[in-house]
Structure 1
Amino acid sequence: MRLIDIATRRRVTIMMFTVAVVMFGMVSLSRLKVNLLPDLSYPTMTVRTELTGAAPIEIESLITKPVEEAVGVIKNVRRVRSVSRSGQSDVVLEFAWGTDMDIAGVDVREKLDILQLPLEAGRSMLLRFDPSGEPVMRLALIEDPDAEIKFQNAEDRLKALRRFAEERLKTDLESSDGTAAVKTSGGLEDEIQILVDQLRLAQLGLSIETVTRRIREENVNLSGGRLEQGSQRFLVRTINEFQDIDEIADAIVANVDGRIIYMRDIAEIKRGFKEREAITRVDGQESVELGIYKEGDANTVQVANRIKQRLKNIETSLPDNMKLITIYDQSTFISNAISQVRSAALWGGLLAILVLYFFLRDARATFIIGAAIPVSVVGTFLMMYSSEISLNIMSLGGIALAIGMLVDNSIVVLENIVRKKEMGLPLLQAAREGSSEVATAVIASTLTTVAVFFPMVFVSGIAGQLFKDQALTVTFALVFSLIVALTLIPMLAAMGSGERFADATDDRPPARLTRGIGFVIRMFRKFFSLIAWVMNKLLRPGVWIFQGFYLALARVYPGALAWSLQRRGLVVLIAAGIFAGTMSLVPRLGSELIPQLAQGEFFVDVRLPPGAPLSRTDRSFRTVEQALSEDDSVQLTYSVAGTGNRLDANPVDSGEHTGKFSVKMAPGSTRLLEEQVIESMRQRLQVLPGVQYEFGRPTLFSFSTPLEVEVSGFDLEQIAAVSNQIQQAMAASSRFTDIKTTVEFGNPEIQIVFDQERAANLGLVVRDIANRVVSNIRGDIATRYTWRDRKIDVLVRSVDTSEASVADIRSLIVNPASDRPIPLEAIADIRLASGPAEIRRVDQARVAIISANLAFGDLGAAAAELQGIIDTTPLPAGIGAQITGQNEEMQASMRSMQFTLMLAVFLVYLVMASQFESLIHPFVILLTIPLALVGAVLALFVTGTPINVVAFIGVIMLAGIVVNNAIVLVDMINKLREAGTEKTAAIIEAGKARLRPILMTTLTTTLGLLPMAIGFGEGAEVRTPMAITVIGGLLTSTLLTLIVIPAVYSLMDRKPATIPTGQTSFV
């Protein structure tokens, strides 16, 4: 092979090429982004439209339905979901994976621009879901409990905390590189409130709209242009902005009958605070949260490190009575997870090299093969940088998976070089011929492994997005390992032959530089000789034990192989029986979508009855927090009542009656202790009336609840009735927990129904009356008041919503400019009523969603039991029910991966058929895949690991890995038969010759994956199932391959041996 000839002849060129790859790879590594996950593009988009004051039913008919009909026809829209709630419509579009969301956003906006919605509705907003929308850090600003000087009262404290967070912290942190935004939540936000006396306005014949307009017109600074007088130019400005609250009170509202009416005559002006949207607490103490969001392409770890440096400076300037706490830091988990993957890769590489030394008992040969690992890994970093792949747990997991396989090609090449040398060939010739002889098999085995990752592009759903980086990194590493095996390994193996410089005739003494280089090389040689001597002394007992085991196996194997060839049919039947028996265990494994991460944290989402005020939501959290305050296993609790303005807030489940309570366990807490804390919290929440809750743990991926049932139809009452029946049946089973439903009636409303005839007789317009009601109750932001370089809203209204009653609404004056004031109750029926809190729709049909967690067992078994409940529930005409949630995504992913597995096997067959120029031999080799499934299933069963997407990826990898040993074995059998050796003798001879490289490649790959299979550290749950699957499948397939594949080959290959003229032996 010409590449091998070049490698052995131009050693300096290969060495310089290797140095260049290592150098550029290290530079690429320093510039790679570090993130938790690959760059995901979640194909969802939310269309949010607001119509203030509209009830859910009106929102559905006026906003949601028209929007659904308009955007539902857009290309690649897979599903349309919507939630209609008071004053707001959210239509969620789910696109097919791989959709260009920028183009989809343009298409959606075009449809919305031509849509005719009510004039009162606001412009529809497009919200993109991005997993990086979660803040990289959360900080809490609280009052220092140890401070000597305390705030006078709670209002002053919360205002001061919010003010300092916005004026100092937010500004300082947002200026840090890579920080996109800092969102504050909690505390009290300043607001100037003007509470108008509507009776006084009526007496003066003024309206609240007049007051709002006058305030807006009085608070203004304008530029009047420029004026030149002589040689001087002046800038003309009108200065009339309010400087303090007293100026607002002294503002002139009107002149009534020659009397000037000041603001203080008709309203109370006070410095208050806006209506609260969220209450945040840390360990029960009210706080102000700062959520720090990074730019889309920023390095999470670097952004967090810069923030931490800023915080060190900020803490020195904090007021004595304030304290800043870090309650969440995503970079910590990322750093730890990546560190664990790196450690697993390093330990795997060391174990692989150790196995090589045990087999070869030669430090030089071990070093030569071991060089394939660092060179291939560093080369992979170069390809990752050029492909814009970040360092994340998936890409690094791919490198860790490939560590043990990186030496496979080098093992086969070097082992054959050593075999040629033992046959008496000179070192240089042995390097060339030994490498060339196995080059085809090595290339084919690499291509079969790489081929199984190509179909990953056809995996739909989240699995395809997540494992794309892993597939590419494994591919890059294996390609580099192939290049190393065919260039660097022959070059290093040929070093010391002396043949390259045999024709040198120059007798002049070498130059000083040459002597210096020679001295450095001799020192390196002595250093490595010393290392080899130390290794030999330290590892001698292990080598002795290992060699004893290997030699015993080498003595037994030829006899066992000969026995199996004599009883080929029996061997095949036994193998088939083992396969069938193992496959019977598959239903007992259970199934899940993605393994659940253990991060020492959990949360509970709480939902109170609709209409529950924010204070009630907060009180429910305080009840739970008090139960945990004495628990030493809990390090920190953090609660958010309401939603606030957090960017990561769920656009569908939000409002004052919702909240989230998070618990961080103390270091060293076990999973059992965590479950005990959850059960304690569950008992507290169960006694709270009308509270629905759902426990969960932080996940790397955004998925819905494990189990969801969609009850669809049109009649809301029938949907609610069926939902209640299913919910009660689920509650009767011990398998389901945290059951909740979206069917919520009883949303309290004050309905104002106008008497249009009565209003018309009085000369009133219903639209004007409705607007006046809004102005009096909700109020209008008249202007913004500048204080300390901050803009503070000035709110004008007549009703203090925190103290008002229905009677105040009844007495609202609807014609303040008239001589005869008319109260609202004179022209409208004002009554208390209730309606649906929200109306959910899926694919333009009304639905109720019942969600639940699993108390025990796997997702597949729970879905089967839930389907039984649905089947036994009587459904009225027009009502349907189906299981969705993670189970739906799991089934779709499994179907997609089954197709991917079949496509991978087909590609492997194509590669092998091209190599062997045979249709039968590839089929024989493919039988290693079902043999590998035996080990994979047994490994999952013994370790109690359910089948999930990660384990299935391991099965797909096995399809490309396990065939390598059989390829090497069959390739040598064919070469021996071409040389004239009889079939049975060729099989036995090939088995003896390939036993050592097959065992070496198997053990290096297996031990390289062992640290990942053990599963220590953060994020191990995502890596362990794959490693367990590959290890189990590889070990079993290797043992069975050495016996079963030769027997099958002997049965299926009927071609007579070819005896070349003058040649009777391979040797």
Structure 2
Amino acid sequence: MSVTSSIVETSTRRPVTVFMFTLALCLFGFVLLGRLGLTLLPDLSYPTLTIRTDYAGAAPSEIENLITKPIEESIGVVKNLREVRSVSKAGQSDVLLEFNWGTDMGLAGLDVREKLDIVRLPLDVPRPSLLRFNPSLAPIVRLSMSRNNTSNSLSDSELIALRRLAEDEIKRRLESIEGVAAVKVSGGLEDEVQVLVDQEKLSQINLSIEQVANRLKAENVNLSGGRLDEGSQQFLVRTINQYQSVDEIANSIITSVDGRKVYLRDIAVVQQNYKEREAITRIDGVEAVEIAIYKEGDANTVSVSETLRKRLEYIEKNLDEEIELKELYNQSDFIQSAIDEVLLNALIGGILAMLVLYLFLRNFKSTLIISLAIPISVIISFNLMYGFNITLNMMSLGGLALAVGLLVDNAIVVLENIAKKKEQGLDDVTAAREGTIEVAGAIFAATLTTIAVFLPLVFVEGIAGQLFSDQALTVTFALIISLLMAITVIPMISAFGARKGFSSIEPNDVVVDKRPLWRKVLTFPFRLLFILIPMFILTIAISFFQTTSRILGFLMKFLVVPFNAFYSGIENIYSRLLPWSLKHKAAVLIIALSAFSSTWLVLQKIGVELIPSLSQGELLVELKAPAGTPLKDTDELMIQANTIIRNISEIERTYSVAGTGNRLDSSPEKGGENRGELNIVIKKPLSEEKEKRVINELRKSLEVLPGIEVKIDKPALFTFKTPLEVEISGYNLAKLKEQNDRLVKLMAENDRFGDVKSTIQQGHPEVQIEFDHEKAAFLGLNVPEVAKQVVSQIRGTVATKYAFRDRKIDVLVRVNEEQRSSVEDIRRLIVNPTSEKPITLEAIADVKVAVGPNEINRISQERVAIISANLNYGDLGEAASVLQSMVDELPSVPGVEVNVAGQNEEMKVSFDSLKIALGLAIFLVYLVMASQFESLLHPFVILFSVPLAMVGAVYALFITGSTISVVVFIGLIMLAGIVVNNAIVLIDKINQLRKAGSAKYAAIVEAGSARLRPIVMTTLTTALGMLPLALGLGEGAEIRAPMAITVIGGLLVSTLLTLVVIPVLYSLFDRKD
């Protein structure tokens, strides 16, 4: 007895065992469903680590040579490292490490830290910090904190209080949440104790800014003096010397001159004020504090957001009623909505598939038995998804939704064969056993052909591999489980009607009850109860089943009659079409060949992109004023832009940030105050057309702002590059800029490209100090020491921390504002305050105003200029071709190389590997079929259904206006495994009839007529199961719809042509009669 026969035999003989085992797997599936992670898509962002190093006062070129290069050289040998990018800015170095998918980031982090420990950096450079996220990604949650008052502005004291609360209460409690990488607070006013020194008075007592700062630091300290034992009492000895007030700081003794004490108040103004503002945040035009939460690179967005919301609920309970904490944006809302839409589509698809089954079978019981395959297969699949660490995402759930129609195919075949056996006079148990065993081999082969297309997964690279893997595995799991369902649960239910009980005791066996009479009497009521309760429940269940059947049967009559007429028409047409086709083979083949050939013309008109863009209902508008624009002017610009934008009717809410705000990739010293960001929330319902319309209106509306660069983008869900990027590499920055400017001009003149930006931008205006080393040496001055003096006087030095209301406030020491407010003031700074004769900066240095470099980008340890652009119209493939022609027309510059990159580069890698995967999938399907038929010819004939399916897929994409993307390619690979099943059923029946003695022509005609019904049934169940996905409704539809459209279009056209073309090809190729 074969394994399959043994399984079927057990299922019919021991139904309780099968039922309990199935129930247990379903229960485990339900439990594990709650433990599966929830994401929008499989992780499409490469795992990243960022090495950030701050070096105050250093220019970009110094940062590059002293910090960035040594770090790049050191970490270049880290395992699984995919790409190294870096940005050297004024005062900061960021080295971004991208790792291959599947890398253990814990071990990778240890490896990177080990390499950093041996890097030789300047002694005064702080230790590099390692961030487990990409700082260029948008935060997953944005919060606003404001006061519930009627005024349109907040006072300084209110802004300080809000900032304190955000820093002390909100930030601290959110940073401890697992998966949160960083919490950044922006807006409001931040406390600071300012010590504003008069440099002339300081020079008179021969002290420097550093000495004053060191004195304050030494005064503000608590120390432990050990322990004192006096008799039986033990004391701790401590020196209490921390500042208790600002006045105490002002009364600090700095030095003595001629026996007279010099207090800090004698040479400086000491005041509690606020730091220089880095950002001004406004919610609908009113100032507020913004809190941005960033997640770790490999953290789950939804689970982190859920934990954040629970923590925020607790925090809000403890806030004053006047404080309003509002969620501005939560990335998980979009993800949750998209996942809910997939689940709803799968449910509707399942109902439609059941409806088709009922219309064909016209038997509610049979429909219900077959339909059980859908929920049971899906629920049990959750066990395997958990074991393989697959999250619930649009691809995995979309795979289950696409497979809804396929899951019933095996059950249909088994149940129909069992029904035929019953018609032949066999009892229920025997019919169930023999009917299942007879078709087990066929359904195993059919399932294997569908699964085989997913095996080339291992050869798929890039984003396609990440997208494909979850869907491939979930579909495979569901189909395998549906196969097991077909050979266990279906025969068990079919045989159940003949079973009168579940005991294995034979009728002639006699069981003697030896219990005493009194025990029998006492236990009789309980025994009766245990009999009556199950009978009552069973009676209710049967009554409900029968009532439901009658109601549904009555309702379905209105559909059954027109459906019968429709299907009878199909049968009549096909009964005449098939004989005609066999007599006019040439005409049929010419029509099929013409249809296939026409697809190549249609393909040229279909756009190409990497992955469809998702409409999230939010847009980011980045405004950039001329370099050097102060924060106050940028804020006025943001108010003006916000007023203009609010006139657009489809915008629900706006919030703006002037300055660096919550951007973690901004330079700490420059490039921030002239930048602003407007976040725009679009009114629901969302659609791609509405989003494009709003973007166009925004561009037109903001044109009235003179001299302002505008870039419109969407919140980044993944670390995708922009659609188009050009990397110009070379060492010479002047030559890079020359080639960069040429290409930027060409792209800006072409209206196809929008938001053209380059990393080589207009530099920031700066005061440059060039020292005369000879003069400095003659006057006995050390240039590095003088440079530190200048930095301390202008930017200041944080001397110590002042304990204020359980918080630590910076005490900043620097020259007062009147002595550093202009370039002339900088020239008159005293650079030798500890000497008797003061020397000003202009005596040893040339102080001039110039434009300095902005930043230096590097990729794979080579300098690059990166030009990025979005598309105003057209598709990515066409735009990449236009851009490549522009690059080819550029004059050659020695030492400079130009390469078109961005999403186009990733698209090429993904498409090339998908083409190979598609070819391998078709080959594997052929292998499975050849093994099944023990023939090389018949599988070859069946494979013609694949190009026929491509005809339907291409025309479906063209008619619906969809583009060819990675998602569509995945649909084509799925299609290759699905469409051959109809041809397999048809060819298999022809072979059976010919073995029974029928002539070739008669066998083909009879097989076509006999297999029309199951072929149409399985095609409609599969197509209608995917129909809700193809309609493209709800969040995330941009990704779901193209795949479903591809499969439905290919399946419907392939079925139509298979019923005609495959018989014609069979009659031509198979010469035996």
TM-score, normalising length: structure 1: 0.93
* Greater mean deviation of Cα atoms: 556-565 or 657-666: 556-565
CA contact (8 A) 2:142 2:292 kept: yes
CA 1:803–1:323: 2 relative to 1, 3 Å: farther
The equivalent residue for 2:467 is 466
CA distance in 2, matches of 1:167, 1:767: 38
The CA deviation at 1:602 is 1.2
Partners in 1 of 2:313 and 2:76 — Cα distance? 51
Post-superposition shift, 1:135? Answer: 4.1
Establish whether residue 1008 from structure 1 lines up as the match of residue 1011 from structure 2.
no
Alpha-carbon distance in structure 1 between the residues aligned to 2:734 and 2:416: 76
Trace 1:538-937 onto structure 2 (pairs within 5 A): 538-644=555-661, 655-668=672-685, 674-698=691-715, 700-800=717-817, 804-937=821-954
* Cα distance in 1 between the residues matched to 2:179 and 2:98: 29
Distance in 1, matches of 2:956 and 2:699, equals: 35
After superposition, the C-alpha distances for 1:524-546 in whole angstroms (9 at most, x for unaligned) are 22321221111111011211111
Give the letter aligned to residue 56 of structure 1.
Answer: P
Structure 2 residue identity aligned to 1:1039: L
Cα separation, 1, equivalents of 2:297 and 2:905: 30
* Inter-CA distance 708–1008: structure 2 relative to 1 (3 Å threshold): same
Secondary structure at 1:1016 match in 2: coil
Shift of residue 219 of structure 1?
0.5
Question: 2:52 aligns to what?
Answer: 48
**Ranges in structure 2 where 5+ consecutive residues have no aligned partner:** 514-523
Quick one: which amino acid aligns to residue 920 of structure 1?
A: L
Provide the residue aligned with 2:415 in structure 1. 414
1:1011–1:609 distance in 2 versus 1, CA, 3 Å: same
Q: What amino acid is aligned across from residue 504 of structure 1 in structure 2?
A: P
**Residue in structure 1 matched with residue 520 of structure 2 by the alignment:** none
CA distance in structure 2 between the aligned counterparts of 1:111 and 1:119, rounded to whole angstroms: 17
Which has the higher mean CA deviation after the structures are superposed, 944-953 or 742-751?
742-751
1:431-479 deviation per Cα after TM superposition (whole angstroms, max 9, x unaligned): 2222222211211121222222232233222232233222222221111
Q: What is the CA–CA distance in structure 2 between the aligned matches of 1:252 and 1:773, rounded to whole Å?
A: 24
Q: 1:906 deviation in Å?
A: 2.2
| Greater Cα shift, 242-251 or 466-475 | 466-475
Amino acid at match of 1:235: L
Which residue of 2 is the match for residue 1065 of structure 1?
Answer: none
Match of 2:517 in 1: none
Aligned-partner Cα distance in 2 for 1:315–1:307: 12
Q: Is the contact between residue 135 and residue 664 of structure 2 (CA under 8 Å) also seen in structure 1?
A: no
| Structure-2 change in CA distance of 1:32 and 1:615 (3 Å) | same
Partners of 1:886 and 1:653 in 2: CA distance: 30
Name the counterpart of 1:454.
Answer: 455
- 1:504 is aligned, of 491, 507, 520, to 507
Q: Name the structure 2 match of 1:536.
A: 553
Aligned to 2:492: 491
- The residue number in structure 1 matching 2:232 is 231
Q: CA deviation at 1:821?
A: 1.1
The one-letter amino acid of 1:214's match is R
Q: Which amino acid aligns with 2:853?
A: P
> Separation in 1 of the partners of 2:694 and 2:669?
29
Partner of 1:958: 975
Once the two structures are TM-superposed, the CA of residue 124 in structure 1 deviates from its matched residue by 3.0
2:129 aligned partner, one-letter code: M
Partner residue of 1:358?
A: 359
Report the more deviating stretch, 863-872 or 242-251: 863-872
Gap change, CA 1:815 and 1:516, over 3 Å in 2? closer
Contact conserved, 2:90 with 2:670, CA < 8 A, in 1?
A: no
Q: What is the one-letter code of the residue matched to 1:81?
A: R
Equivalence for 1:1061: none
Q: Does 1:89 align with 2:106?
A: no
Q: For 2:668 and 2:465, how far apart are their aligned partners in 1?
A: 26
Kindly state the Cα deviation for residue 948 of structure 1 after the two structures are TM-superposed.
0.9
- SS in structure 2 of the partner of residue 405 of structure 1: helix
| Preserved contact between residue 748 and residue 833 of structure 1 (Cα < 8 Å) | yes
* Local SS of the residue matching 2:826: helix
Work out whether residues 278 and 641 of structure 1, in 8 Å CA contact, stay in contact via their aligned partners in 2: yes
Find the counterpart in structure 2 of residue 191 from structure 1. Answer: 192
Q: Cα deviation per residue 1:50-87 (whole Å; 9 max; x = unaligned)?
A: 33222223333333334334434545444433322222
Counterpart in 1 of 2:126? 122
Give the whole-Å Cα distance in 1 for the aligned partners of 2:693 and 2:97: 39
Q: Residues 938, 801 of structure 1: CA spacing in aligned structure 2 closer, same or farther, 3 A cutoff?
A: farther
| Distance change in 2, residues 1:386/1:132 (3 Å) | farther
Structure-to-structure mapping, 1:328-343, within 5 angstroms: 328-343=329-344
CA distance in 1, matches of 2:458, 2:1011: 35
- Asked whether the 8 Å contact 2:615–2:686 carries over to 1, the reply is no
Q: 1:30 to 1:834 in 2, by over 3 A?
A: closer
In the alignment, the residues of structure 2 paired with residue 786 and residue 131 of structure 1 have an alpha-carbon distance, to the nearest angstrom, of: 32
Cα deviation for residue 670 of structure 1 reads: 6.1
Distance between the aligned counterparts of 2:897 and 2:308, measured in 1? 51
1:1048 matched to 2:1065: yes
Matched, 1:144 2:161: no
Equivalent residue letter for 1:274? K
1:67 aligns with 2:71: yes
Question: For the residues of structure 2 that align with 1:309 and 1:132, how far apart are their CA atoms?
Answer: 27
- CA gap of 1:871–1:646, structure 2 versus 1, over 3 A, is closer
Partner amino acid, structure 1, of 2:431: A
SS in 2 for 1:703: coil
User: Residue 206 in 1 paired to residue 196 in 2?
Assistant: no
Deviates more, 1:109-118 or 1:312-321: 312-321
Contact 1:441 1:971 in 2 (8 A): no
Match of 1:1062 in 2: none
How far did residue 506 of structure 1 move? Answer: 6.1
**Distance in 2, Cα, partners of 1:705 & 1:40:** 14
Is contact 1:185-1:646 (8 Å) kept? no
Q: Distance in 1 between matches of 2:594 and 2:349?
A: 34
Shift of 1:280: 1.8
**Cα deviation 1:740-759 (Å, max 9, x = unaligned):** 22222443222222222222
More off after superposition, 1014-1023 vs 507-516: 507-516
Q: Which amino acid aligns with 2:380?
A: G
User: Structure 1 residue 159 and structure 2 residue 160: aligned?
Assistant: yes
Aligned length: 1053
Q: Is the 8 A contact 2:92 2:668 kept in 1?
A: no
Structure 1 unmatched ranges of 5 or more: 1057-1067
Contact 2:607 2:964 in 1 (8 A): yes
Residues 170/726 of structure 1: CA separation in 2 closer, same or farther (3 Å cut): closer
Distance 2:339 2:1053 in 1: 30
**8 Å contact kept, 1:590–1:947:** yes
- 1:985 aligns with 1002
Distance 1:188 1:496, change over 3 A: same
- Offset at residue 97 of structure 1 (A): 4.0
Rounded to whole Å, the distance in 1 between the matches of 2:85 and 2:480 is 45
Cα RMSD, aligned residues only? 2.9
Change (3 A) 1:255 1:649: closer
TM-score by length of 2: 0.92
Give the conservation status (yes or no) of the 8 Å contact 2:737–2:760: yes
Task: Judge conservation of contact 1:782–1:794 (CA < 8 Å) in 2.
Answer: yes
Find the partner of 1:8 among 5, 12, 15: 12
The amino acid of 2:157's aligned partner reads D
Most deviating of 827-836 and 201-210: 827-836
- 2:192–2:811: 8 Å Cα contact kept in structure 1? yes
**Alpha carbons of structure 1 residues 497 and 319: separation in structure 2 relative to 1, 3 Å:** closer
> Separation in 1 of the partners of 2:505 and 2:950?
54
Quick one: structure 1 residues 947 and 689, their matched pair in 2 at CA, closer, same or farther if it must change by over 3 Å?
A: same
Of stretches 778-787 and 517-526 in structure 1, the one that deviates more from structure 2 is 517-526
Distance 1:966 1:917 in 2: 16
